[in-house]
Structure 1
């Protein structure tokens, strides 16, 4: 479904004179979009996510003619347009993406009501579209990593083919933290030296998803690896994980490793360990899955992972079918035994 909502100038290439009424409507749309952005001003991460969702809806439904700031959201009072938008633009996405886009549209419609583009009745009609059947249910992302696989990954850091001694020590510390604390990539790239409490085996995470500072705890192997890395990096204030020069000199002045650099390190070491494709988030899944498999309480693991809801933590469980089968077989059920004679009489 494509709404041709751009100006005549955009469609024909000729000069278009904006009439006063059209200019007023465009100004109201811009004001509504500004309200939409300010709705999420207290959480920059959520603001970026929802603005991107709204931009994607506007761009795809207008064939690239419109952006979120000038898209005619007030036209979504037409049930046929909303139905086509949901079927052709939002529906083909994953279930989670579809719900997120639908939420962004509903919030934007509310903002349109605030600036006068919609009446209250029109808002109710435009927001009444059903989301129960939208979106594709995809298989869970990521992969299952066993403890043997993670240990092979850590071993590849210390004895890998690429990089010198300093690179090996840094990579080993980086992956040991990822594999023992369940931190996200954005959280590990935001770590400072001052965030590391050696005596308490703790990391103080200040840059987190949702902007909620929290604590992360480290395995003794990660503590030992970090001590070895700090002996090379030094304890001067600044990012904990930094790039290295060709000679192995820590380049603290260059800032922290980026997410892409962390991703490349994990992928390279996984290839050397013969594990195929592994992402930083797979190590987060490993921690959560292993803690659950070891019998730790779901709420405790939820706090360790920094999740708001236990349902999110449970969705990370990647234990294979063998573990699920073994769990069922562990039930204490007694077999019902009868004699052959009684069976024949019955």
Structure 2
């Protein structure tokens, strides 16, 4: 917790360490963490690769192990940092799938007005698309995070970093309709969360995923999840001429290199720039 990791990140790291401990016991290393050394760590990571785990997941396992081994050595649980010479596997950066304007409109129009949770689902989809929120950020959003006067949403992201996002009129109107007409009916006991389930409990990030997947399927769209809307948000901001640093702030990226990935997605803007400014068009 001292590093400011989110609960989801902590849960993932705990799972990585359980995998390491299970592998050690299976290999006959039952004496505890002090038996960790470089060769055994490499053996564990190789077993993950042999089991078909993707490179990005192995990279996260490696990061978890490096942090843990540094802590274990500093706390005296191990004689030395067993991961000191452990290198991070290289990951290929694949271009994200994004929705065009027409497909995004299909998704936003997919919820059935006759459905009980129609207003909630519309507000949630509008917010994910208009603000580029992560699923966990949308699930944890407080009811008082919306400032309709200024037209912004206050979001608490990774590392407890706050950012202020302008979201536009359609999103604000959708949230207002949900907050005034449906949320009071769903509310069973006091909670500060904005988005509630049918039973009145705050939604989880899993529920956010399910909402997006369900309505994407109804709209005839494939391979669409909350991060697709985040990718689309970022790509369309850059296509519209937004500065890369501004988009970095809007997404809450610590590393500009992560945001730069979106500059490779919008080929239509690249073609336009070349047509207008190339010295030999």
TM over 0.5: yes
Q: Name the counterpart of 1:98.
A: 58
- After superposition, give the CA deviation of every residue in 1:155-205 in whole Å (9 maximum; x if it has no partner): 223xx3xx6165333322221111101111111112232221111111222
Are the equivalent residues in 1 in contact too, given 2:141–2:155 (CA < 8 A)? yes
Alignment counterpart, residue 100 of structure 2, candidates 142, 146, 149: 146
Alignment counterpart, residue 172 of structure 1, candidates 122, 133, 142: 122
Q: Name the counterpart of 1:43.
A: 5
For 1:246-261, what aligned pairs fall within 5 Å after superposition?
254-261=200-207
TM-score, normalization by structure 2: 0.81
Are the equivalent residues in 1 in contact too, given 2:183–2:196 (CA < 8 A)? no
In the alignment, does 2:194 pair up with 1:240?
yes
**Structure 1 pair 328/49, CA: closer, same or farther in 2 (3 Å)?**
farther
Partners of 2:25 and 2:6 in 1: CA distance: 27
Are the equivalent residues in 2 in contact too, given 1:171–1:265 (CA < 8 A)? yes
Q: Name the counterpart of 1:7.
A: none
**Structure 1 pair 287/81, CA: closer, same or farther in 2 (3 Å)?**
same
**Structure 1 pair 330/56, CA: closer, same or farther in 2 (3 Å)?**
farther
Are the equivalent residues in 1 in contact too, given 2:239–2:266 (CA < 8 A)? no
**Structure 1 pair 48/262, CA: closer, same or farther in 2 (3 Å)?**
closer
Structure scoring higher RCO (CA < 8 A, sep ≥ 6) equals 2
In the alignment, does 2:46 pair up with 1:87?
yes
Partners of 2:28 and 2:41 in 1: CA distance: 18
Partners of 2:144 and 2:27 in 1: CA distance: 46
Q: CA deviation at 1:222?
A: 0.8
Alignment counterpart, residue 70 of structure 2, candidates 98, 110, 116: 110
Alignment counterpart, residue 304 of structure 1, candidates 250, 264, 277: 250
Partners of 1:93 and 1:135 in 2: CA distance: 14
Are the equivalent residues in 1 in contact too, given 2:6–2:158 (CA < 8 A)? no
Are the equivalent residues in 2 in contact too, given 1:183–1:284 (CA < 8 A)? yes
Q: CA RMSD in A?
A: 3.2
Partners of 2:193 and 2:39 in 1: CA distance: 53
Partners of 1:143 and 1:334 in 2: CA distance: 32
Q: CA deviation at 1:292?
A: 1.0
Alignment counterpart, residue 289 of structure 1, candidates 216, 228, 235: 235
**Structure 1 pair 317/258, CA: closer, same or farther in 2 (3 Å)?**
farther
Are the equivalent residues in 1 in contact too, given 2:235–2:266 (CA < 8 A)? no
**Structure 1 pair 83/293, CA: closer, same or farther in 2 (3 Å)?**
same
Q: CA deviation at 1:297?
A: 0.4
SS in 2 for 1:315: helix
> Structure 2: where are the runs of 5+ without partners?
none
Alignment counterpart, residue 53 of structure 1, candidates 4, 7, 16: 16
Alignment counterpart, residue 176 of structure 2, candidates 190, 203, 227: 227
Are the equivalent residues in 2 in contact too, given 1:242–1:256 (CA < 8 A)? yes
Query: What count of residue pairs does the alignment treat as equivalent?
Result: 274
